[in-house]
Structure 1
Amino acid sequence: MTDELILYTNPMSRGRIARWMLEEVGAPYRTEILQFGTTMKGDAYKTVNPMGKVPTIVHNGKVVTECAAICAYLADAFPQAGLAPPTDRRADYYRWLFFGAGPLEAAVSNRALGFEVPPDRERMIGYGSYADVMDTLEKAVQANPYIAGDVFSAADVYVGAQIGWGLQFGTIEKRPAFEEYFGRLASREACRRANEKDNAAAAELQKAG
C-alpha cells in the first residue's frame, strides 16, 4: 500500500511519544515492535534508521526519525486532525516544539546522568542550566491552557510526554504547574489509548522473556 503508515517502536522508549501522536492523528497504522540490542540494531532495521534507534515512522515510503520531527510531520501530513496552528500563528508552536527537542531534552538527560554544568561553563551549553530550563518551562505551561496557546497541538504531545515521563521518573521537578498541565493532557482519549497499547506491548515483551 502506497499510503501505508508504519511505526517502529519499543514500548519502553520515546516511541511512546510517536504512538500518542499517531493516536491523536487517528489514521490507521501498523506497529513493528523492536527489541533493544537485537532487532533494533539488526541490518534490516538499520536500512530504515541507520542509528538503530526508535521511534521511526514510514509514511508513503518516506522515513521520518526523531520525535519532534515525527510530531511535526504527522501534524502536517494529516491536517484534518487540527494538530498544528495555521502557518501565520506558529511562532509559539515552533518555539516550544524545538525547546523540547533542544534545551529540555538535553537538560533532563544530563540531570538523569548526574551531570551538572559548572556555573562558569553555562554559556557553552545551549540550555544554560537545569534551573533555567525548569523555570522557563513552568512559565510556558502556566501562560495558556496549552503550550502554544488555547488549542492543543503536536507541541503538547512532544513537550507534554517529556513532562509526564520526567514527573514519573523524577527527572523533572514535581511543580504544581507541571502536574496540572500534564494531568490535562493525560485525560485525552488518544493519550489513554496510546498508553493502553504500549502497556499491552510491554507486557507481551516481558512474557516473551
Structure 2
Amino acid sequence: MSASRITFYSNPQSRAAVIHWMLEELGEPYDTVYLNYQGAMKTPEYLAINPMGKVPAIMHDGQVVTEGAAICAFLADQYPQKNLAPAIDSPSRGAYYRWLFFAAGPLEEAITMKSLGMPIPADKSAMLGFGTLERTVDVLEQAVSSTTWICGEQFTAADVYVGSAIRFYMQFGALEPRPAFKAYVDRITQRPAYQRSAKIMEQAMAKSQQ
C-alpha cells in the first residue's frame, strides 16, 4: 500500500467531523492526528500548521489547508476522478462554489448571531452579509428542495459541507427543522461514506473519554 498523501488534524468534538466525512467520500488513504483543545492544538508545532490553533486542518503533499469549505473544495480538485466537484466547464460549477461559500459565510453568520442572542435592528440588516436570518433560511430551503443534491443530480463536496451544516444546526435547535431540510439530511445520512465517518467519530469520542 502506498504511503498516505494526506494528514488530517482533528478532534472528535469539533467541526472536523465534516472533513472526516469528506475524506471517506474521497476514498483515499489518510492519517488522522487527534488533538485536544488546550494542549496539542496550542503547541508551537501545531500553531506552525494552523496559527488559529483550531481544527480541522490537512497537510496534503506538503500543502497546508485550513477552513472546512476550503478543505472540501481543495480535496475535490486534487482528486477529480472522484467526481466530487462539477467539471470546470460544467453549468453546475457556479452553483457548487455558490452553495459552499453560502454555507460558510451568510448561513454561519446568521446562525451564530441567532445563537448568541444578538438582535438585528431592521434598519441595520443591509449592513450584514446575510441580511436577515429569515431570508437566509428561505434561500437555503429553496436550494435543497429543487434537486436531489445542492448542484443537481451529482453529489459533490458542496453537499458534504452544506449537509453537515444543516444537520448540525438542526440537531442543536439553531435551524428550524423544515421538511425540506429533514429530507435532505435523510439523503446524506444514508450515504455509506457518511455512516463510516460517523462510526469513526463515535470510536474516537469513546477513546478520548477513557
| TM-score normalised over the length of structure 1 | 0.96
Structure 2 Cα separation of the partners of residues 100 and 35 of structure 1 = 26
Structure 1 Cα separation of the partners of residues 119 and 150 of structure 2 = 27
Other structure's SS at 1:87 match: coil
Whether 1:51 and 2:48 are equivalent positions in the alignment is no
- State the Cα deviation string for residues 181-207 of structure 1 (Å, max 9, x = none): 011001000000001001110111111
Partner of 1:99: 102
Structure 2 Cα separation of the partners of residues 28 and 39 of structure 1 = 23
CA contact (8 A) 1:106 1:127 kept: yes
**Identity, % of aligned pairs?**
48
CA contact (8 A) 1:104 1:127 kept: yes
Partner of 1:114: 117
Partner of 1:65: 66
- State the Cα deviation string for residues 86-123 of structure 1 (Å, max 9, x = none): 11220111111110111011111121111222211101
Count matched residues.
207
**Structure 2: tracts of 5 or more residues without a match:** none
Partner of 1:23: 24
**Structure 1: tracts of 5 or more residues without a match:** none
CA contact (8 A) 1:3 1:60 kept: no
Structure 1 Cα separation of the partners of residues 70 and 16 of structure 2 = 13
Structure 2 Cα separation of the partners of residues 181 and 79 of structure 1 = 24
Partner of 2:141: 138
Alpha-carbon offset, residue 4 of structure 1: 2.3
Other structure's SS at 2:89 match: helix
Structure 1 Cα separation of the partners of residues 107 and 130 of structure 2 = 8
Q: 1:2 to 1:60 in 2, by over 3 A?
A: farther
Measured on the aligned residues, the alpha-carbon RMSD in Å equals: 1.2
Other structure's SS at 2:149 match: coil
Q: Alignment partner for residue 176 of structure 2, among 168, 173, 183?
A: 173
Which has the higher mean CA deviation after the structures are superposed, 154-163 or 111-120? 111-120
CA contact (8 A) 1:71 1:154 kept: yes
Alpha-carbon offset, residue 42 of structure 1: 1.4
Structure 2 Cα separation of the partners of residues 147 and 22 of structure 1 = 19
Runs of 4+ in 1 over 2 A off after TM superposition: 1-4
Whether 1:192 and 2:195 are equivalent positions in the alignment is yes
CA contact (8 A) 1:4 1:60 kept: yes
CA contact (8 A) 1:2 1:60 kept: no
| Paired amino acid for 1:125 | L
